[in-house]
Amino acid sequence: MQITIIDHPLVKHKLSLMREADSSTYKFRTLTKELARLMAYEASRDFPIETISIQGWEGNQIEGIQIKGKTVTVVPILRAGLGMLDGVLDLIPTAKISMVGLQRDEDTLEPVPFFEKLVKDIDERPALILDPMLATGGSMVATIDMMKKHGCKNIKALVLVATPEGVKAVNDAHPDVKIFTAALDSHLNEQGYIIPGLGDAGDKIFGTKQH
């Protein structure tokens, strides 16, 4: 399985707080952002770098480091992925933003696309897809399909909770895509919700339903 489970005490602690049934909208939204920031730190660890010459404080030319190539594009999947966006932008403020809108059909669990606005040069940029939940994997696979149709080649997916089913679906369809998750949970229930999971992440981030 092509997956990195982020094994960091802060990540484990924050995710456990999110699993509490009585987490308020404010708390859930804040934790989503904080976790996204930590995950972006881990997922950017292998960004290519190059040495540059800069003028130091004494007036001498000294060696510096910069990230090589075009800035990353972050791709939040609407709605819930928007909850992770600010956390990632805290670390990579110059990132370009591409948006994908998908709504999972509650009966068939198939993703229904409703919006797509990718940066024009997505074929030249590395991409970080953001979505808290990787359940069946249908929404993630559809997003990657969409991005690859536009030539995107270097893709990572950041999720808070994944299932073995979802990871397998992404790995089978797109073995080149690296998945980063805060937890690999047990399974999906009959309604397609992750167990133990977080409940409906979109509703909890936006406060649209009480659970």
Ligand X SMILES: O=P(O)(O)OC[C@H]1O[C@H](OP(=O)(O)OP(=O)(O)O)[C@H](O)[C@@H]1O
Quick check: 65 and 51 in contact, CB under 8 A? yes
139 marked as part of a ligand binding site: yes
Amino acid at 157: A
CB of 53 to ligand X, least distance (A): 44
Binding mask 41-80 for ligand URA (x = CB under 6 A): ---------------------------------------x
Quick check: 185 and 197 in contact, CB under 8 A? yes
Q: In the chain, what is the greatest distance between 2 CA atoms, to the nearest angstrom?
A: 66
CB of 141 to ligand X, least distance (A): 8
Q: Quick one: tokens of 88?
A: 């990632």
Nearest CB to ligand X, comparing residues 121 and 145: 145
158 marked as part of a ligand binding site: no
Quick check: 1 and 171 in contact, CB under 8 A? yes
Nearest CB to ligand URA, comparing residues 74 and 135: 135
Q: Given the rule CB under 5 A, which residues bind Mg ion?
A: 200, 202
Q: Which of 189, 102, 186 is nearest to 146 (CA)?
A: 102
CB of 28 to ligand X, least distance (A): 13
132 marked as part of a ligand binding site: yes
138 marked as part of a ligand binding site: yes
Rounded Cα–Cα distance for residues 162 and 27 (Å): 21
29 marked as part of a ligand binding site: no
How many beta carbons lie within 10 A of that of residue 22, not counting itself? 6
- Residue from 76, 83, 111, 202 touching ligand URA (CB under 6 A): that is 202
Quick check: 37 and 91 in contact, CB under 8 A? yes
Quick check: 196 and 182 in contact, CB under 8 A? no
Rounded Cα–Cα distance for residues 49 and 178 (Å): 19
131 marked as part of a ligand binding site: yes
Asked if 133 touches ligand URA (CB under 6 A), the answer is yes
Which residues are documented as binding site?
A: 79, 104, 131-139, 194, 199-201
Which residues are documented as binding site for uracil?
A: 194, 199-201
Which residues are documented as binding site for 5-phospho-alpha-D-ribose 1-diphosphate?
A: 79, 104, 131-139, 200
- Could you list the residues that contact ligand URA (CB under 6 A)? 80, 133, 135, 192-194, 197, 200-202
